[in-house]
Every structure is written in structure tokens, then in C-alpha cells.
Copies of this chain bind each other. A is one copy, B any other.
Amino acid sequence: MSYAQLQLKNQLCHRLYMASNSIARTYRPLLADINLTYPQYVVMMALWEEDKITIAALIEKTAIDGSALTQILKKMTDKALLMVIKDESDKRKRLIQLTKQGQSLKQQASDIPNKIQCKFNSIDSTQAEQLMHLLDLVVHDLNNEELNMLDIEE
């Protein structure tokens, strides 16, 4: 009975770990068809929604780590999906802009959400929304915790 909390089967975190990996594994072959990794796909989605934004805005929108993003953008530039442009009004900033090819990839990617959705057989849309809501709470709590700690230190 002791240490019950240390049991893997009771841990929310381990569930998240497994689910996140499962999803990434599921996306990989689909994204390979259009020569993207999952984080790169996330970057593309962000840019398809709003093009020519700063790296900071991209970090905010995608939740991809900044230092990782630098490398990712480098590879995507090599693939001619986007360009990293200096912002002349503030030379610290960089603007990310899709190329024609980057823009046209949107059509080829348009069926991916459906293909993914088809794999969820035991979850209806209500449960999916519930799940998204709960995950938002998790993220909010964990990110807020960091803010709280900053408050305390001040």
C-alpha cells in the first residue's frame, strides 16, 4: 500500500508522456509524405494562420522552445519553405515569411487533420473538447506555477 503515488499506473504525467509520444508517432508517417516533422508542421500551421510574424510571436503561438526553433527554422529555410528576414525597424527581431512553396503546402496538408481524427475511434467530439479543456488547465497550472515563483522571488 505504501508509495502508491509512485506507481506508474496512477500517474497522470506518465499518461501524458505516453499520449504525446503516441501522437507524434502517429503523425510522423503522414507528415513524412510532405517532408515535415511535427514541430515543423506546427510552425507551418502557425504561419498559414498568420504570415510574416516575429520569432517571438511564433514561439508564443507554437509553444516551441526558442533555441530549438532557431534550428528548426534553419532547416525549413533550407527546404525553401520560409525565409528569415531582419526587421529593419528593430534589428534584434526577425520576421518569418512563407515562400510560395510554403504557402502552397497548405493544400497538401489540408487532409491531415481528418486522417488523424479518423484514428480516434473511442473518443467523440464532446470528449475531445473535454480533453482539450483539461489539458489547457494542466498547461495553465504548470506555467502559472513558474510565474508564481517569480512573484515570490521579487
Q: 1/0 per residue A133-149: CB within 8 Å of B?
A: 01111111111110000
| A117 cross-chain contacts in B, Cβ below 8 A | 5
Q: 1/0 per residue A45-83: CB within 8 Å of B?
A: 110110000000000011101000000000000000000
Tell me whether chain A's interface is mostly helix, strand or loop, or mixed. helix
In the bound complex, do residue A45 and residue B142 qualify as a contact, i.e. CB atoms below 8 Å apart? no
**Residue in B17, B109, B113, B141 whose CB lies within 8 Å of A119:** B141
Given the known inter-chain contacts A13-B23, A63-B21, please indicate yes or no for A123 contacting B138, CB distance below 8 A. Answer: yes
A residues near B, CB below 8 A? 3, 5-8, 11-27, 38, 42, 45-46, 48-49, 61-63, 65, 106, 109-110, 113-114, 116-117, 119-123, 127-128, 130-132, 134-145
In the bound complex, do residue B138 and residue A11 qualify as a contact, i.e. CB atoms below 8 Å apart? no
In the bound complex, do residue A120 and residue B132 qualify as a contact, i.e. CB atoms below 8 Å apart? no
